[in-house]
Amino acid sequence: MKIAVVGGYGVGMTMRVPHFPAPGETVSGGDYAQGPGGKGSNQAIAAARLGADVSLLTAIGKDHLGDAAAALWAREGVGHEYVARVESSTMVGFILVDDDGENEIAIAPGALSRLTADHVEGFRKAIRDADILMVSMEIPLEAVGAALRIANEEGTTSLLNPAPAVPLPAEFWPWVDILTPNQSEAAQILGLPVTHNLSAAEIAEQLRSRTDAAVVMTLGSAGSAVFDGADFQQVEAFPPARVVDTTGAGDTFNAALAVAIADGEPLDRAARFANAAGAHAVTQAGVIDALPTREQIAAVMAI
């Protein structure tokens, strides 16, 4: 199966500190860690690890972080010949975490902000040849729209993971075949207040009032839900043995869902497979190390 991915790549630089520094204060005694991330890259690696033939479009800088990204994709079997290398720094996120677990984050998008509709047009053949296109929203909206439009023109199924959530331009909605928000993202897309009391089924109904796309909504520990406009179905969760790190669970879910759909599974069975993939991911620290193989997903589903 072939999967095309349009999304982000960046490097997370995390420092744990006793407390957040006040203006002008220097705080020492922290621990530092650095690792690759970005929803597009994570989803591409996850899909490749599940046996898909993956092509990735993102943008990275002509710097050592970009070199490390290319080496990572080569190791993981992700096709990256279309990746744009631009005259800007590779995206980085600086994360401070205090002793209470609270965090402060600053992001420098750098190269990722330079991804354009022209770059996506150059990716048209990969989209045309794919069984499914995955798009996430860390990239400029013009690139998101171009990817969805080209998939529609080429007859390729599109899966939009609307994260981070922003209002979608009206012209995008007809180009989306499968929409995969979590409940919070769905509410943001719809412009609902934080204090809304709508159920997952009611939120899915409102999404369907804007689009003909099938909605696959993640529900955290409650699993996921599928709504195709006719039937709303909640899909069982697989309670993990332990929860260590939830960071990459959403990317894992989306990649596994896309792989199962490309394999010809109906949405409910694809969502069940994706639930199991997410359940595995949260039992491991970090993102890349937590992305499962088919054997690991099968082990979760057998419990």
Query: Does residue 177 carry a catalytic annotation?
Result: no
Whole-angstrom distance, CA of residue 20 vs CA of residue 35: 22
Residue 11 pLDDT: 96
Residue 221 pLDDT: 87
Whole-angstrom distance, CA of residue 249 vs CA of residue 257: 12
Residue 1 pLDDT: 94
pTM of structure: 0.93
Residue 56 pLDDT: 98
Residue 86 CA, chain-centre distance (Å), reads 23
Q: Which residues are annotated as a binding site for ATP?
A: 182, 218-223, 250-251, 275
Residue 5 pLDDT: 98
Residue 248 pLDDT: 87
Dihedral sign from CA coordinates of 175, 180, 181, 187? positive
Q: Which residues are annotated as a binding site for substrate?
A: 38-42, 138, 251
Of 251, 263, 268, 289, which is the active-site residue?
251
Whole-angstrom distance, CA of residue 10 vs CA of residue 59: 9
Residue whose pair of structure tokens reads 């989209």 in the numeric block: 127
Specify whether domain 2-19+30-302 bears CATH 3.40.50.800. Answer: no
Residue 255 pLDDT: 98
Whole-angstrom distance, CA of residue 155 vs CA of residue 158: 9
**So where are the chain's domains?**
2-19+30-302
Strand-strand pairing, 84-86 and 53-57:
unpaired
Q: Which residues are annotated as a binding site?
A: 38-42, 138, 182, 218-223, 245, 247, 250-251, 275, 281, 284, 286
Question: Phi and psi (nearest 5°) for 111?
Answer: -55, -35
**Residues of the chain under the 70 pLDDT cut:** none
Question: Could you write out the three-class secondary structure of the chain?
Answer: CEEEEECCCEEEEEEECCCCCCCCCCCCCCEEEEEEECHHHHHHHHHHHCCCEEEEECEEECCHHHHHHHHHHHHHCEECCCCEEECCCCCEEEEEECCCCCEEEEEECHHHHHCCHHHHHCCHHHHHHCCEEEEECCCCHHHHHHHHHHHHHHCCEEEEECCCCCCCCHHHHHHCCEECCEHHHHHHHHCCCCCCCCCHHHHHHHHHCCCCCEEEEECHHHCEEEECCCCEEEECCCCCCCCCCCCCHHHHHHHHHHHHHHCCCCHHHHHHHHHHHHHHHCCCCCCHHHCCCHHHHHHHHHC
Cis omega (within 30 of 0) for bond into 164: yes
Q: What digits encode the pLDDT tens for the residues 239-265?
A: 887 888 888 899 999 999 999 999 999
Whole-angstrom distance, CA of residue 40 vs CA of residue 35: 15
Residue 92 pLDDT: 96
Spatial CA neighbour of 40 closest among 1, 3, 81, 75: 3
